[in-house]
Amino acid sequence: MKAPYSTLNLEPLVALFLFLCISSCQPKAEYQETDLPIDEPFLIVLGVAQDAGYPQAGQQKEWQLIKEGKAKKAYAVSLGLIDPKTKQRWLIEATPDFKEQLQLMDQISTTDSYPYDGIFLTHAHIGHYTGLMHLGREAMGAQSTAVYAMPKMSEFLRNNGPWSQLVVLDNINIKPLSNGNVTEIGAFRVTPLIVPHRDEFSETVGFKIESNGKSILFIPDIDKWEKWDMDIKAVIKTVDAALLDASFFKNGEIPGRDMSEIPHPFVEESMALFENLNAQEKRKIHFIHFNHTNPLLFPNSPEHKSVLEAGFQVARPGQLFTFD
């Protein structure tokens, strides 16, 4: 049965480049294959890891696994929106892996407003906005790159260095977002949805991304689903795909730490919550934003296999979603 959207593996030269750079050993699975270029708007997954990526700083065992070829690096969660017809592209999340992810975007897209026609931010945690530093005078020296942000996020950038310097020097031009209101960019419609999270410096949002009558939900960070004032199961039924927070697979994943301090929905909890969805609805769900402790980073792990066997998906670096 054909999915209501298309998820595509990249082929020949582009596929080789992407998999060498950002593969986290994800299998090809049952996705339809295609060659680039694609003529219609599409979304690309530029990273699947939690804010600090994989391996994390100081995790010597993880670095050793990389050295031995038993694991591969994974970039922090970020998405690219590309409209090939108009030569426009947008970034969702400016991560610490900004420069590598920009290079990936350069391999498959172009824009007349380099580096991006705009950047959308979900919140002020390190993996979601600190890549903006590459737009500054010490690096690219960008000119008026549009940065779409919610009110508290905008205030944080304007009033705290070094981000405020980006504003003063016109490296970035902050564009306002508001909860539930659509922002139209080229062939896309982007709607921020406020979600509960640790909001020390800004509010937190997910995004609903629409084009050609199809829609994708993106919520990389949220506290427990029951804390949200929306019913996630009902929301899933209204979209064609959902990229959802999977920071931790289960409770106790971080030894010696009280995980109530980081109340993300565990994957085990999410699968139980979504258990009664029909097969088509389950296939919409792609888990993403994996902490370095999360076994979903490893496709040969029992946990990874259990997610697929339960009818859900695991987001992959380089994965494409078309809106046809």
Query: For position 40, what pLDDT does the model report?
Result: 92
Query: Is the pTM value of this prediction over 0.85?
Result: yes
Give CA separation, 180 vs 177, 214, 230, in Å: 9, 17, 12
Q: Which residues of 175-208 are buried (b: 16+ CB within 10 A; e: fewer)?
A: eebeeeeebebbbbebbbbbbbbebeebbbbbbb
At 138-171, the pLDDT tens digits run 999 999 999 999 999 999 999 999 999 999 999 9
At 10-30, the pLDDT tens digits run 433 344 444 433 333 332 322
Between 28 and 89, where is the model more confident? 89
- Integer-rounded Cα radius of gyration of the chain: 18
Beta strands 285-288; 241-245: pairing state? parallel
Stretch among 22-36, 44-58, 233-247, 266-280 having the lowest mean pLDDT? 22-36
- Tokens 């994957």 sit at which residue? 267
Contacts of 313 (CB under 8 A, 6+ apart): 29, 283, 285, 286, 287, 307
Contacts of 252 (CB under 8 A, 6+ apart): 259
H/E stretch holding 157 reads helix 151-159
At 277-288, the pLDDT tens digits run 999 999 999 999
In contact, 78 and 91? CB cutoff 8 Å: yes
Return d(Cα 191, Cα 120) in angstroms, integer. Answer: 11
CA atoms within 13 A on the CB side of 281: 14
In contact, 54 and 287? CB cutoff 8 Å: no
Return d(Cα 90, Cα 3) in angstroms, integer. Answer: 25
